[in-house]
Structure 1
Amino acid sequence: MKRNIWMLTLSIFVISMMTGCQNDVPKPETNLKLIPMVHASTYKLDSIPVLKQNSNEIPSLFVQYKAKGNKIMVECILTGISFRESDHSKEKLGKMLVWVDGKKYQEVSTAAFIIKGLAPGNHKLKLEVIDLKNQPYGLTKEFMVNIPK
């Protein structure tokens, strides 16, 4: 009888230890995860439409940027114009010119990109959306950035 009580007590103790020491695994989030901008240049950037765009939509441009070292990470939200040349469902196709201190720096066809190799100091950046025949859409954003020494 004492042996049965001892085994029962030991069994309850072991079971309580096993159930009490489990890790609470959180449920996976359903939010989409974004690739950090610092790693964006290592991935092939495919355009993924965030919102369904209509060709009747008035084009608009919203720009966010962040300086990190001598790099500027730029993220654009462009509505009404597509960067995909293979997207024939939209009438308005385009690309973006990047100007640094009044000089053409590069031509991009993605909504997120990195401007590298800027010298320390203040720089005037200009983003201009143009069509595939280099005609402006009238969408530009200008801003100043400071690269620390």
Structure 2
Amino acid sequence: MKRIVPFIILLFLLAGIIIGCQKDLPKPGMKPKIVSMDQLSYYHAEIVPVYNQNLKEIPSLFVQHEIKGNQILVECIVNGVSFRESDHAKQKIGKMIVWVDGKKNSEVTSAAFIIKGLSPGVHKMKLEVVKLNNESYGLTKEFIVNIPR
């Protein structure tokens, strides 16, 4: 009996260590459809509201960006404006114009996209939600990114 007690104590300690050391990671809600990155040298993310989110009739824009290498991963939440031309349920259809250092870089018709090939250094980014005829909805977001060397 005296030999069994230390064995039971040791068994409980090992079981506690094994149970306590398991990784309980949350399941990701969305898998990115992005190019895989080998190195994460700089990380910056922010979410900034442009309009009050509680008023559904007023379009609003939230932007989150992440820098990975020389690429910027951008995710936007645009309420009140659809990027699908075939979406007739919503009255407001549009696209997003991406400006880099004051120059028009591209037009996108999705809420998540990647800006590739930026040179090292500081860049001023501007996102502008516009109608299909390039008339502004008044939704813009500007931010500064620092691409590492």
Q: TM-score, normalised by structure 1?
A: 0.66
Q: How much identity, in percent, do the aligned residues show?
A: 65
Aligned 1:36-75 pairs, distance under 5 A: 36=32, 38-39=34-35, 57-75=57-75
Give the superposition deviation at 1:89: 1.0
* Structure having the higher Rg: 1
Mapped to 2, the partners of 1:95 and 1:71 lie a distance apart of: 21
Give the superposition deviation at 1:39: 4.1
| Superposed CA offset, 1:17-52 (max 9, x none) | xxxxxxxxxxxxxx7731225349xxxxxxxxxxxx
Aligned 1:13-24 pairs, distance under 5 A: none
In the other structure, the counterpart of 1:51 is none
In the other structure, the counterpart of 1:105 is 105
In the other structure, the counterpart of 2:29 is 33
Indicate conservation of the 8 Å contact 1:64/1:75, yes or no. Answer: yes
Structure 2 alignment gaps of length 5 or more: 1-26, 37-55
Structure 1 alignment gaps of length 5 or more: 1-30, 41-55
Mapped to 2, the partners of 1:70 and 1:145 lie a distance apart of: 10
In the other structure, the counterpart of 1:10 is none
Indicate conservation of the 8 Å contact 1:65/1:73, yes or no. Answer: yes
Say which structure is richer in helix.
Answer: 1
Mapped to 1, the partners of 2:35 and 2:71 lie a distance apart of: 13
- Letter of the 1:73 partner, please give it: L
Mapped to 2, the partners of 1:58 and 1:39 lie a distance apart of: 34
3-state SS in 2 of match to 1:38: coil
Mapped to 2, the partners of 1:81 and 1:64 lie a distance apart of: 18
In the other structure, the counterpart of 1:123 is 123
In the other structure, the counterpart of 1:142 is 142
